[in-house]
Structures are given as structure tokens and as C-alpha cells.
Amino acid sequence: MIKHLNITVKGKVQGVFYRKSTKAVADQLGVRGMILNEPNGDVYIEAEADQSTLEMFIEWCEEGPQDAEVSTVESHEGELKNYRNFEVVKRRS
């Protein structure tokens, strides 16, 4: 069963290729959704996949790319939006 997670990643996660790296991992795992930088320095992700795939994805989010320093990852279930792929969004519309 496909689930939808809203994920907020806090720490040193901007300016370290976090979004680009996360997209590569999402594409590899088959996660659909989107990622964007928040004005406050956080990264916001919406991810859709089955439970075990989302668990692997969250594990990766807790590490991030080499130069990232993730302090916390918060996630909660949301309403399924049926994303077609995973994309990096420049700013909220």
C-alpha cells in the first residue's frame, strides 16, 4: 500500500546538495514526491511509496549527503497526492 509522508529535515541541509542528492536516492528507490528549501533553513519533502521503501528513504534523509549535518527529521502521514515522479521545487507556489 502506498503511503504519503510530509517530512521536515532540520540542521545544515541547505547549500550542501541535499535536494539534488535526495532526488537521486528517491529516483533509485522509486519514491515519488517533491523537495524544497524552506526560508528558515529547513528542507521540506513530500514522499510517496510503500512502507518499507519510505523507511529506507527516511534513513537516508537522517544522514543526507556528505557535507550535510542533519539534526532532526520529522515525518507524519498525509493525504496521498499521487505524484508521478520526484522533483526538486525551487520555491512554494
The catalytic residue positions are 19, 37
- 34 Cα distance to chain centroid: 7
Length of the chain: 93
Q: What residues pair up with 2 in beta bridges, in sequence order? A: 50
DSSP 32-80: EEEEEE-TTS-EEEEEEEEHHHHHHHHHHHHH-STT-EEEEEEEEEE--
